[in-house]
Structure 1
Amino acid sequence: MIELKHPKDLSRLRRFALASQCLLQAQPFGRGLAGARKAIHHLGYVQLDTISVVERAHHHVLHSRVPKFEPAMSNQLLLNGDLFEYWSHAAALLPIDDFRFSLPYKQAIKSGQTHWYKNTDKKLMLELLARIRAEGPLRSRDLETSSIKRAGWWDWKPAKKALEQLYMQGDLMVSHREGFQKTYDLTERVLPAHVDSSMPSMEAFASHLVEQQLRCHGLVSLKGLTYLRRDSKLRSAVKKLVNEGLAQGILEQVKIASGEVFLIKSKAIENGVLDGRLPSLNKRLLILSPFDNCVIQRERLKSLFQYDYQIECYVPQAKRQYGYFCLPLLFQDQFIGRMDCKAHRKTRLLEIKSLYLEQQAFNRELMISAFVEAIEKFRSFQQCDSVSLVNVHPKHLSQALQDALKPLA
């Protein structure tokens, strides 16, 4: 095990992690549709989320890495057969080449080992399958509507629950998406013929996860390799594979001053991660999604970047510290704050309700310039024409930021 105690060592790991997430380069995957395809293949998944105070999470993640990305491209990639929708650690867009690794969870749901809905209406599920087979793809809103107001997705009417169950157990796939309205069709009609649909062994699944996580994060904790995956057999297989990698010298353990232990490929260390030339930094500031692959593992984020982040949309309003949907701000190789904002689409206004900047060692003028440039791009991405800034913390930065944003007001 390599123990790192010098602050510069931690800086090296941060840059390696950000470079692995492709957040240090301006266009690591190229541009537009082709760039988005490459980005999803590299990251392994892009998380879906329903919150829409700003552009949806999956579009936001791709926008952060792919110049000229447009939200319609996600559905185009789905239609092209480049990706598919399913569950990773959460609902996600996944590379179509990884389809077979969705099968163990589907099998667990279908066999009743894992419950999606505890009480499934199998008769209704068969009726829905027959209808789709005979009539073609089906949207959830095509099902008979109810006049009773429901509490939310957890209180779906039986037909929608049956449709979702068929999707989760693999009989159906999402063939098309408009916003958050999904269209379902039979798996055999959606899945491209060339895609490997053989059930992977637990060892193959573990190997896939380890390789994916090391590819897109650079360094990971043992816990992070199976983040939010509750399959004890999979966790055991991953742990066994890691132990074998350590014994064979393929993997190395790196311990930072906080005591956190990360796994890293030995080849990366040989190539100078700890003692070679650092990846260069640019002057950009990035506004990230709360569901971005780089920040979603909060414990890892805190130990590696000393950035304590929580999304507060699930926190009661009275207990929120920063706001409903605060977006992490990454400046060079530091997370320097968060921004609670809302895109008012009717008036085409991007309202920054609160901007919180932490006491970090950065050049103030350089940061403000980078922030304004980032807001200008973000405003355009949100299809807004103007920007308003309401609250700034600390307050002594308020006037300088207000003045800098005036051209965008």
Structure 2
Amino acid sequence: MSLKEQSLSLKEAQKLVLLSQRLPSTKRIGSAQNATLSAIEHLGYIQIDTISVIERAHHHTLYNRNPNYKADHLSALVADKKVFEYWSHAAAFLPMTEYRFSLPRKTAIASGKQKHWFKRDEKLMKAVVERIKHEGPLMAKDFDKKGKKHGEWKTAPTKQALENLFMQGDLMITKRINFHKVYDLTERVLPSDINTVMPTEDEYGRFMVKKYLQTNGLGTLPEITYLLKNVKPLVTNALDTMLNTGEIELVNVSNTAYYVLPEALELLNQPLARKKLKILSPFDNLLIQRKRMTDLFNFDYTLECYVPQHKRKHGYFTLPILWDGKLVARMDSKADRKEKVLHIHQLTLEPSLRKTEAFADALGKELQSFMEFNVCNSIQLHRTIPSSFKFEFEHRFLN
């Protein structure tokens, strides 16, 4: 298929991406917990993060796909063996239905073909497995209550052994207690009917292509293989094969060639809930590839908690805001859980945002829900850019 045969406008590409990401969320049939499972199975992963200035990223991302989301959904789904923890491009919750596609990485790590960041101590790893085998599920602190931490990662030796065993597939995480991982033997965690057949290289390549395009609408080779090790040849072969068979097509967006599933283009016939506003996590599946957001949404975003304070422009933990099909603002926030106050330290509007009154209405509605999601009962808005918006917003909602 020639690039000249089909092209999408930037607005069409943005719509396709958002509908594929299920943003903004729409009503789903079934229980709230099943809606959470549906979101995880559709997206393929939910990134886990430890930062908790507002509700943690994995909860935040799911809340934006399921308005009825509750924080205990994840632990319940793990306990029901519908979801498991492993590695995507980062630590993540993954759907159990796709367990077998975690096996190539696990096998590569176990065989030494792919390096993990912790050094292997085979004797200690064997001892850890034996102890869990006889005592049942254990946490890292059950081993090294007074153990010395060492090495580049300043991590206790048995914690390193646990993580190596987890990454190579011998252990799984059966639950978390106060965010601490509880490890058990994989054979005791996996459902009895789960498919554990190693995918062929062709299957694995096709899976990565199809999953990415289903959940992201369109993509390039670098985007599909983002932060994934040793998969570029498999994905390249899959793209070539699927393009030749018509399973995927190429479209032109702003003079860039993107791969797309033909059936995904039908999404463009569906409406996008442009009036709905969503406050996104920095680790949301939509946002995780910053260059992609610049290319497709003209949104230059940096998470500044990793930037020295004197160099921050927008704030420590800035949340991108989606509205009218675009990324139109960013909000540096912190939930004071003791005082139950959601602080908005700085709200920065993008220069391209013109309909500020309509935006203020949408933001006010969503902030009420977002405040409750963060277990707060009031909001303090400290600063806006431009400063005139602070008066406009407070006059409408905070008086």
Task: Report the TM-score when normalising by structure 2.
Answer: 0.94
Residue 329 of structure 2: which of 332, 337, 346 is its match?
337
Partner Cα separation in structure 2 for residue 21 and residue 316 of structure 1: 32
Pairing 1:401–2:396 present: no
Partner Cα separation in structure 2 for residue 395 and residue 65 of structure 1: 32
Asked if 2 retains the 8 angstrom alpha-carbon contact of 1:253 and 1:263, the reply is yes
Identity of aligned residues (%): 39
Question: What do the CA deviations read for 1:86-118 (whole angstroms, capped 9, x no partner)?
Answer: 001110000001111111111111111222145
Pairing 1:239–2:232 present: no
Deviation for aligned residue 1:159: 1.2
Asked if 2 retains the 8 angstrom alpha-carbon contact of 1:45 and 1:92, the reply is yes
**CA pair 134-285 structure 1, distance change in 2 beyond 3 A:** same
Partner Cα separation in structure 1 for residue 93 and residue 325 of structure 2: 27
1:23 alignment counterpart? 23
- Taking only aligned residues, the RMSD between alpha carbons, in angstroms, comes to 2.1
1:188 alignment counterpart? 187
2:290 alignment counterpart? 298
- Counterpart of 2:9 in 1: which secondary structure? helix
2:142 alignment counterpart? 142
2:38 alignment counterpart? 38
- Which amino acid in 1 is paired with 2:239? V
- Which amino acid in 2 is paired with 1:266? P
**CA pair 118-351 structure 1, distance change in 2 beyond 3 A:** closer
Partner Cα separation in structure 2 for residue 222 and residue 15 of structure 1: 21
Deviation for aligned residue 1:158: 0.7
2:278 alignment counterpart? 286
Deviation for aligned residue 1:360: 2.5
Partner Cα separation in structure 2 for residue 289 and residue 112 of structure 1: 35
**CA pair 280-194 structure 1, distance change in 2 beyond 3 A:** same
- Counterpart of 1:296 in 2: which secondary structure? coil
1:68 alignment counterpart? 68
2:250 alignment counterpart? 253
Partner Cα separation in structure 2 for residue 156 and residue 4 of structure 1: 55
Partner Cα separation in structure 1 for residue 267 and residue 219 of structure 2: 18
Asked if 1 retains the 8 angstrom alpha-carbon contact of 2:24 and 2:278, the reply is no
Question: What do the CA deviations read for 1:279-318 (whole angstroms, capped 9, x no partner)?
Answer: 2434111001111111111111111111111111112222
Pairing 1:381–2:373 present: yes
- Equivalent pairs counted in the alignment come to 398
**Equivalent runs, 1:69-108 vs 2, <5 Å:** 69-108=69-108
Pairing 1:161–2:155 present: no
Asked if 1 retains the 8 angstrom alpha-carbon contact of 2:19 and 2:272, the reply is no
Deviation for aligned residue 1:152: 11
Partner Cα separation in structure 2 for residue 344 and residue 272 of structure 1: 40
Asked if 2 retains the 8 angstrom alpha-carbon contact of 1:31 and 1:69, the reply is no
Partner Cα separation in structure 2 for residue 312 and residue 130 of structure 1: 43
**Equivalent runs, 1:193-272 vs 2, <5 Å:** 193-231=192-230, 234-257=231-254, 259-269=255-265, 271=266
- Counterpart of 1:27 in 2: which secondary structure? coil
**CA pair 87-406 structure 1, distance change in 2 beyond 3 A:** same
**CA pair 320-112 structure 1, distance change in 2 beyond 3 A:** same
Partner Cα separation in structure 2 for residue 374 and residue 31 of structure 1: 22
Task: Report the TM-score when normalising by structure 1.
Answer: 0.92
- Counterpart of 2:381 in 1: which secondary structure? strand
Asked if 1 retains the 8 angstrom alpha-carbon contact of 2:121 and 2:161, the reply is yes
**Any unmatched runs of 5+ in structure 1?**
none
**Any unmatched runs of 5+ in structure 2?**
none
Question: What do the CA deviations read for 1:238-269 (whole angstroms, capped 9, x no partner)?
Answer: 11111122223332212222x32211123344
**CA pair 153-369 structure 1, distance change in 2 beyond 3 A:** farther
Runs of 4+ in structure 1 displaced over 4 angstroms? 3-6, 28-31, 150-153
**CA pair 118-60 structure 1, distance change in 2 beyond 3 A:** closer
- Which amino acid in 2 is paired with 1:399? F
**CA pair 397-341 structure 1, distance change in 2 beyond 3 A:** same
Asked if 2 retains the 8 angstrom alpha-carbon contact of 1:28 and 1:65, the reply is no
Deviation for aligned residue 1:338: 0.7
Partner Cα separation in structure 1 for residue 316 and residue 14 of structure 2: 28
2:3 alignment counterpart? 2
Question: What do the CA deviations read for 1:303-357 (whole angstroms, capped 9, x no partner)?
Answer: 1111111111112222222111111100020100111111111111111111111
**Equivalent runs, 1:39-54 vs 2, <5 Å:** 39-54=39-54
Asked if 1 retains the 8 angstrom alpha-carbon contact of 2:53 and 2:335, the reply is yes
**CA pair 152-379 structure 1, distance change in 2 beyond 3 A:** farther
